[in-house]
Chains A and B, each alone.
Chain A
Amino acid sequence: MSIKFKLFLVLIFCLGSTGGVGYLGYDSYVNLQGINKDLRQASKIKGLVQAIANSPFYSSFDKKLKRYVNKLKPNYRNRAFKKIVMAYGERNRRKLNNSISNFRKQEKKFTAYLEANLLVYESRLQSLALALITSFGLSLFFIYSMILNSTFRPLKALSNRMLDFLNDRYTYQFRVPKKNEVGELELNFHSLAQRVLNNMEELKALDSAKSDFLNIASHELRTPLTSIKGSLSLLRTGMDKLPKEKSAQLFSIAEKETDRLIRLINDLLDLAKIEAGKLPLEKDWVSIDDVIETTLYSLEGISKTASVSLAYTSGQHKLVEIDQDKVQQVITNLVSNAIKYSPQNGTVTVAVSIDSSNHLKIEIKDEGTGISPSDQKLIFEKFRQASGPSSPIVKGTGLGLAIARAVIEEHKGVIGVRSQVGKGSSFYFTLPDWKQDQVTLDFGKKAS
Chain B
Amino acid sequence: MKILLAEDDHNIATIAVMALETFGGHQVVHADDGQKAYELAKAQEFDLVLLDEMMPIMNGLKVCKTLLQEGFRTPIIFLSAKSQSTDISLFESLGSGFIPKPFDPSTLCQEIENILAEAA
Find the residue from A218, A226, A234, A236 having the highest chain B CB count within 10 A: A226
Question: Is A54 positioned at the interface, with any CB of B under 8 Å from its CB?
Answer: no
Q: Is A234 in contact with B15, judged by CB distance below 8 angstroms?
A: yes
Contact with B101, one of A215, A222, A231, A391 (Cβ below 8 angstroms): A222
Please name the residue on chain A nearest to B9 by beta carbon. A223
Once the chains are docked, how many angstroms separate the CA of A198 from the CA of B26?
Answer: 56
A387 interface residue (CB < 8 Å to B): yes
Known pairs A215-B82, A218-B81; A230 contacts B10 (CB<8 A): no
Residues in chain B near residue A227, CB distance under 8 A: 9, 11-12, 15
Which among B58-66, B67-75, B103-111, B112-120 touches the partner chain?
B103-111
Contact count band on B: 20 to 34
Q: How far is the CA of A256 from the CA of B15 in the complex (A)?
A: 14
Q: Which residues of A contact B44 (CB under 8 A)?
A: none
B9 A233 Cβ-Cβ under 8 A: no
A242-B104 contact given A219-B82, A234-B15, CB 8 Å threshold: no
Number of interface residues of A (CB under 8 A): 28
Q: How far is the CB of B78 from chain A (nearest CB, A)?
A: 13
Interface-central residue, A218, A230, A246, A391, by most chain B CB under 10 Å: A230
Let me know if B84 and A226 touch, CB within 8 A.
no
| B18 contacts A by Cβ under 8 Å | yes
A351: interface (CB < 8 Å): no
A223-B9, A233-B106, A253-B11 given; A241·B22 CB < 8 A: yes
Partner of A230, one of B54, B56, B103: B103
- In whole angstroms, what is the CA distance A378 to B102 when docked? 28
CA of A242 to CA of B106, assembled, Å: 13
Residues of B near A249 (CB, < 8 A) are 14
Per the bound structure, the CA–CA distance linking A208 and B10 in Å amounts to 31
Shortest distance between the CB of A387 and any CB in chain B (Å): 6
Q: List 8 A-B contacts (CB under 8 A).
A: A219-B81, A223-B9, A226-B15, A227-B11, A229-B102, A229-B103, A237-B23, A238-B22
A→B interface (CB under 8 Å): 215, 218-219, 222-223, 225-231, 233-234, 236-238, 241-242, 246, 249-250, 253, 256-257, 387, 390-391
